[in-house]
Amino acid sequence: MSEKLETLHNQVIAYLKEGKFVEGIDDFYAENATAQEKADPPTKGRAAMAATEKKF
């Protein structure tokens, strides 16, 4: 694993361990990212994904 990739990997793991899920979306996801849970319609855009995560 390259040093840069390993650094990013460690940062993501640290966010998860600290419960920083919304911050992780803001810092690591592309602005036009999408996510889909099961049969639900996709959530489009980093802001919408972060807003959905804040509900939990």
pTM score, whole prediction? 0.82
**Span 6-56, pLDDT tens digits:** 999 999 999 999 999 999 999 999 999 999 999 999 999 999 999 999 998
Query: pLDDT at position 1, please?
Result: 67
Query: pLDDT at position 56, please?
Result: 84
Nearest by Cα to 43 from 51, 28, 5, 27 = 51
Number of structural domains found in the chain: 1
Q: Up-side HSE of residue 37: CA atoms within 13 Å toward CB?
A: 4
Query: pLDDT at position 9, please?
Result: 96
Query: pLDDT at position 30, please?
Result: 98
Q: Which domain holds residue 42?
A: 3-54
